[in-house]
Chain A
Amino acid sequence: MLKILKYSFADLARSRWSYVYFGFYLLLGFVLLFLNNDLSKAVITLMNVIVVLTPMIGTIFGIMYFYSAREFTELLLSQPIKRRDIFLGQYLGIALSLSLSLVVGLGIPFIIYGVAQSSEIWDFALLLLVGAFLTFIFVALSVNISLRNENKVKGFGYAILLWLFMAVIYDGLFLISLIMFDDYPLDKFTLFASMFNPIDLSRILVLLKLDISALLGYTGALFQNFFGNGSGMIISLLVLTLWAILPIGLLIRTAKRKDF
């Protein structure tokens, strides 16, 4: 599996888009830190960018890579390697290279600015961790979509729809349901529902860490009330881990049963 990972990583590390992505974070980091000069504001802006952008890029890269590597995957399948190793290797290659673009792209301006010496270092570390989590989750989801859809246009459509749903529509539906069922106690439902969207969950996690109650919103405040800051973070991290593991498991299962 490591061999496959190494090569798909090397393949992506030389793709122009990896550098565009890397450059974007580099620029964003510098602009936010050096033009803004307010660390906590920078963290919040970065969070808003990361929770929307990493899932989108993860989704698009995941689906495009697997579709374009289709024939290459066939070549690998005819070699003496287990299916699981091929797909896990390719998946990790994409997820790791995207995560690396994020971590290094934002890490360089952080270090130059001197974040490492400041008290906010853990906020930044958590941001990067959440970004990496979202990358792993959405790459896994989109790879699942690509494995289940031979038709590229359809697959691409589903993937974008998934992202749009998680990033935008979910919140809208959520709000509407809260307004419509205003008269009922919705705490449990809300808690439950936020677990089903990794983007929401990441946002709550970062805001709990930042401890800015004004920005927590309804779900975040509930989380805080229900679990407290510390265990709220642990629980959301655990659920995020589940969000990463389940699609990866499904991906391997689907790959094992698929005809190529």
Chain B
Amino acid sequence: MIRIENLYKRFGRLQVLEGVNFQIEEQGVVAVLGPNGSGKTTILKTILGMVLPQEGEIYFDNQPVLNNWDYRNRIGYMPQIARFPDNLTVRELIEMIKNIRDVDANEHALIERFGLESSMDKKLGQLSGGTKQKVNIVLTFMFDSPLLILDEPTAGLDPVSLIRLKALIQEEKEKGKTFLITTHIMSLVEELSDQIVFLLEGQIFFQGSVQELKDQTGQKNLEHSIAKILESDA
């Protein structure tokens, strides 16, 4: 589904990605992990064409991604910080994104699910951070995209919404979708992910299942496995 070949990215003097290679074939949830500043968000953004790499190529369903745009019809992206134009209402924003995509969307079920009905006619500037994040979820999940990219999806969500989001991810996964998720919450990784991609110093340090990572590091719990990798590195 996604193939990343020899990806290099430098921001000014800061080399973030140094030859990243990986491939995701099967469906399911892939957690992209790594310490702060390891280039997780950068990888996700290069897949989306928002960050332009110095070197390397990305293929989505065997089509090169760089300098292309229509492949994004098949991707849903949930950014880390949800900020929208203050003067638009939630309804207008959803309509706008639907208008851009020009495909069917099932926003009503999601609006109900996250209890956004009462906020639909409020301006986005008046919403709290958590509510904006819920709008963000609706925008990401309302299309039937085969690939969903979620960057820190749990930020700012209350426990109830968090449970709903996890259930939603589970359901969509069972429908055969692929997820790329970055998060620092290890319980979420253990609960949801089928595969882990671990980034360290701009390269893929590990790719495999949660169990494989635990076996490799000889730890019983994921958090400790990760800590062990980082300690041995330092």
A-side interface residues toward B, CB under 8 Å? 3, 7-8, 10-12, 14-15, 68-72, 74-83, 257-260
Contacts and interface: CB of A to CB of B under 8 A. Distances in A.
A72 B79 contact: no
A168 B69 CA distance: 44
B101 A78 contact: no
Given A71-B79, A78-B48, A81-B69, A3 B87 contact: no
Contacts of A70: 83
Contacts of B71: 80
Contacts of B77: 78
22 contacts: A3-B99, A7-B92, A14-B87, A69-B85, A71-B79, A71-B82, A71-B83, A71-B84, A72-B84, A74-B50, A75-B97, A78-B48, A78-B50, A78-B75, A79-B97, A81-B69, A81-B100, A259-B11, A259-B45, A259-B51, A260-B50, A260-B51
Contacts of B49: 77
Interface of B: 11, 45, 48-52, 69-73, 75, 77, 79, 81-88, 92, 96-97, 99-101, 139
B96 A80 contact: no
Given A74-B50, A260-B51, A79 B88 contact: no
Given A11-B88, A80-B69, A80-B70, 17 more contacts: A7-B92, A10-B87, A15-B87, A70-B83, A71-B79, A71-B81, A72-B83, A72-B84, A72-B85, A75-B97, A76-B100, A78-B48, A78-B72, A78-B77, A79-B100, A80-B73, A257-B52
A112 to B, nearest CB: 30
Closest 4 CB pairs of A and B: A71-B83, A78-B77, A80-B72, A80-B73
Contact of A259 (B50, B82, B85): B50
A7 B92 CA distance: 9
Given A3-B99, A74-B79, A80-B72, A259 B84 contact: no
The interface residues of chain A, by DSSP majority, are classed as helix
Nearest to B78: A78
Contacts of B82: 71
Nearest to B140: A78
Nearest to A13: B87
By CB atoms of chain A within 10 A, which of B75, B87, B97 has the most? B87
B131 to A, nearest CB: 15
A215 to B, nearest CB: 41
Contacts of B86: 11, 68
B42 to A, nearest CB: 9
A77 B45 CA distance: 10
A10 B86 CA distance: 11
Contacts of B99: 3
B85 A11 contact: yes
Nearest to A8: B85
A71 B77 CA distance: 13
B101 to A, nearest CB: 7
B70 A10 contact: no
Contacts of B97: 75, 79
Contacts of B81: 71
